[in-house]
Structure 1
Amino acid sequence: MARYGYARVSTREQNTDAQSDALARAGVEPDHIVIEKISGKLASRPKLDALLSKLQPGDQIVVTRLRRIGRNHQHLLDLAAWFEEHEVDFIVLEQGIDTSTPIGRLYFRIMAALAEFDREAIVEGTLEGLAAGPGPRPGRWPADQALRTPARAGAAHVRRR
C-alpha cells in the first residue's frame, strides 16, 4: 500500500506550499506528492492522469479539499467510481472524508448523492425555465412582463407601478 498526495493550483503564480504541508502532516512522503499547476476546469490534467495510472489496489490518494481534484460534481462522481472499482482509498483532509473506513465510504456516498441531486435540480429548473419561454405570464407584475418582451430585453431599467 502506498499513500499519494495530489495538490493543485490554478495558476503558476499560486503556491502549493500549504497543500504540500498538509499532505505531509497526513503522512504522505514528499516524493509521493504530485503537484499540478493547471486550471481546475480543464478536462485533461496530465499529472493527475499519470498518478491514477500507477495506483494499485490498496493505495490511497489524499487531497486537502475536493475542489483540488474534481473539476465538477460529475467528475468527482466519476473519480469516486474509479477509486471504488480499482480499490483505491480516497481521503479528503478538510472535509473529513476517508473511504478506507465503512463510515467514510457512507459519508462520501451521501455527499456525492447530495452533489448529484443539486446538479439535477439545477438542470431541471433550467429546463423548466427554457420550456416556459420568454412571453408574458398571467399573474406576474406588469414590469416583469415588460422585461420579458424582446423590445424591452435590453432596457436599462423598468418603471414599476
Structure 2
Amino acid sequence: MTETTYGYVRVSTQEQNEARQLAAMQEFGVAEKNIIIEKLSGKDFNRPCYQRLVRALRPGDVLVVKSIDRLGRNYDEILEQWSVITKKRKAAIVVLDMPLLDTRQGRDLTGTLIADIVLQLLSYVAQTER
C-alpha cells in the first residue's frame, strides 16, 4: 500500500487568505489533490474537512501543517488529536514552522521528550492567542 502525504490548510474566516499556507504545502511537495482547505475557526476540532481527513489517514501517511495553530487553537484538543493521528491512525505529522515537530523519523527517548515539551508549549500559545 502506498503512503500518502496530505496537507491541511486552515484559516478562520472566508475572508482570510490561505495563499502562504498553500505555497508552503507545494514547496514541501504535497500534491494539490491532497491539500485540504478549511475556512473555520480552530477553537475545536468539529470541522468537517478535518474530520474526513483524519478518517482517511492510514498507517504510514503523513499530515503536513504550516504551524501548530493551523491544526487547532485548543490546548487539550491539539494534544488529543496529535495522539489520535500518531498513535491510533499511525500516521506521521510534520509541522513546517517547527522542525522538532516532525514524527516521520524515529526519535530516541530524549528527542521524543523534547518534541512533547515543544508540542505542549506551542499548543498552549495557540490557545492563548485565540
Task: Give the TM-score normalised by structure 2.
Answer: 0.81
Match of 1:91 in 2: 94
Count of residue correspondences: 118
Within 1, Cα distance between the matches of 2:48 and 2:66? 19
Say if 1:98 and 1:105, in contact at 8 Å, map to a contact too: no
Q: Which runs of 4+ in 1 moved over 3 A?
A: 103-107, 112-116
Gaps of 5+ in 2: 126-130
User: Mean alpha-carbon deviation: is it higher for 54-63 or for 82-91?
Assistant: 82-91
Alignment deviations for residues 50-109 of structure 1 (CA, whole Å, 9 cap, x no partner): 100111000000000000012311111101111222210000000112101134644421
The 1:59–1:42 alpha-carbon spacing in structure 2 relative to 1, beyond 3 Å, is: same
Q: Between the two proteins, what is the percent identity of the paired residues? A: 36
The 1:32–1:105 alpha-carbon spacing in structure 2 relative to 1, beyond 3 Å, is: farther
Equivalent residues in 2 for 1:98-137 (5 A)?
A: 98-103=102-107, 105-114=112-121
Which one has more relative contact order, counting CA pairs under 8 Å at least 6 apart? 2
Within 2, Cα distance between the matches of 1:15 and 1:113? 27
Match of 2:128 in 1: none
Q: Which structure has the larger Rg?
A: 1
CA RMSD across the alignment: 2.1
Give the residue type in structure 1 aligned to 2:47.
R
Within 2, Cα distance between the matches of 1:113 and 1:19? 22
How far off its partner does 1:19 sit?
0.3
